[in-house]
Amino acid sequence: MTTIDPSLSTGRTCCTWPDLPHPGGLCPDPDTSPRLRPINVAPLERSTMFGVEVTAITSPDMLSLIGDHVGSRLPLTIFHQNLHSAYLQQRHEAVRRAYTSADVAYIDGMPFVVQGRLLGGTVDRSHRNTYLDWYDSLLTTAQEQEWRVFFLGGTPEALKLGTDVLSERFPNLMLEGHDGFFDASPNSSETRDVIDQINDFGADVVLVGMGMPRQELWVAANRRHLRVPVTVTVGAGMDYVAGLIPTPPRWMGKYGLEWMHRLVSEPRRLWRRYLVEPVYLLPVWSREIVDGRVPSRFRSARSRDGVASNSVADRPKLQAVRRD
């Protein structure tokens, strides 16, 4: 994932966490950024691990959920949880509020799967997902169903190279994009221009890859202005597609080794994330183990055969609601 570029800052600081370099002082406000929920649809089952909320959902079920929301035009916001996001939420309330505003915070790291098992939950390897595992299926479906996909983020170079690669692989995909080098503060003219571009394009799915936590904060602050059913954060997704960052072998993710590949590929950028930040989470981890806190929501999500999931097939059908 990309890091926050201090050069993008407008000089203002976030009201909640001024110590963190942040473009435009973007602070999501739950009072002005309401979560819109489909009627007659219960929220996906969540549990708390490493002190943050996670959603146990497999890639196929998440893609089915995206398809349902594109069809119904009901809003759906999807973030991903890993140890880096847990660390940021422990230290910065604004990031925690942004994650709370999301409808889905899927598991993007094997430590959450291990922790879930230790706490007696039914989460397993199939609940660990990452953008690299599902974006091909998403874009294949988007091409077949004639969805409009908008990518927001990355450098101008990454965006150009990545969209060229995707256009070659998916020649009939309706794709548009904008790089992440703009003033991301909520009321800036550049943010309004980006929102207008997305809405004018008529996007069905927006993939936001501006690095954590900039992307989550931007989505939380601006989601209500987007006339888009599905918004998903994807970190350095376009950098991987463009070939600017080496893609880890997919088998490594299943065994919790993908971080090692990324650390070797980008040691200067990622050493702190993988070698230092987890240490700060040890007190949270040990407290959960000592308390024996079982993720009760995972347990309550068991189906009759004893397998826990957020299977879309088990959920009520979405109903369209009128937006005035």
320 falls within a domain: no
Q: Where are the beta strands (DSSP E) in the chain?
A: 46-49, 52-55, 76-81, 104-107, 148-153, 174-178, 205-209, 230-233
Which pLDDT score is estimated for 203? 98
Indicate whether 26 belongs to any domain.
Answer: no
Q: DSSP label at 314?
A: G
In a domain, 23, yes or no: no
Q: Are 30 and 63 in contact (CB under 8 A)?
A: no
Q: Is residue 153 one of the residues assigned to a domain?
A: yes
At residue 290, the pLDDT reads: 81
Instruction: Find the domain containing 128 and state its range.
Output: 44-314
In a domain, 9, yes or no: no
Residue-level pLDDT at 267:
86
Give the DSSP per-residue string, 39-89: TT-PPPPEEEETTEEEE---HHHHHHHHHHHHHHT--EEEEEE-HHHHHHH
The span from the CA of 51 to the CA of 212, in Å, is 18
- pTM greater than 0.75 (yes/no): yes
Q: Which residues of 174-212 are buried (b: 16+ CB within 10 A; e: fewer)?
A: bbbbbbbbbbbbbebeebeebbeebeebebbbbbbbbbb
Q: Is residue 250 part of a domain?
A: yes
Evaluate whether residue 321 is within a structural domain.
no
Contact criterion met (CB below 8 Å) for 199 and 226: yes
Quick check: is 238 in a domain? yes
Question: How far is CA 25 from each of CA 117, 155, 187, 225, rounded to the nearest angstrom?
Answer: 38, 21, 11, 19
Task: Encode the chain (324 residues) as per-residue pLDDT tens digits.
Answer: 333 333 333 333 333 333 343 433 444 444 444 444 443 334 567 889 999 999 999 999 999 999 999 999 999 999 999 999 999 999 999 999 999 999 999 999 999 998 988 888 888 989 999 888 899 999 999 999 999 999 999 999 999 999 999 999 999 999 999 999 999 998 899 999 999 999 999 999 999 999 999 999 999 999 999 999 999 999 999 999 999 887 777 777 777 778 777 778 888 888 888 888 999 999 998 888 888 654 445 543 433 333 344 554 454 444 443 333
Cβ(211)–Cβ(2) under 8 Å?
A: yes
Q: Enter the tokens of residue 276.
A: 């230092």
Number of domains in the chain: 1
Query: Do residues 143 and 172 touch, judged by C-beta distance below 8 A?
Result: yes
The pLDDT of residue 292: 66
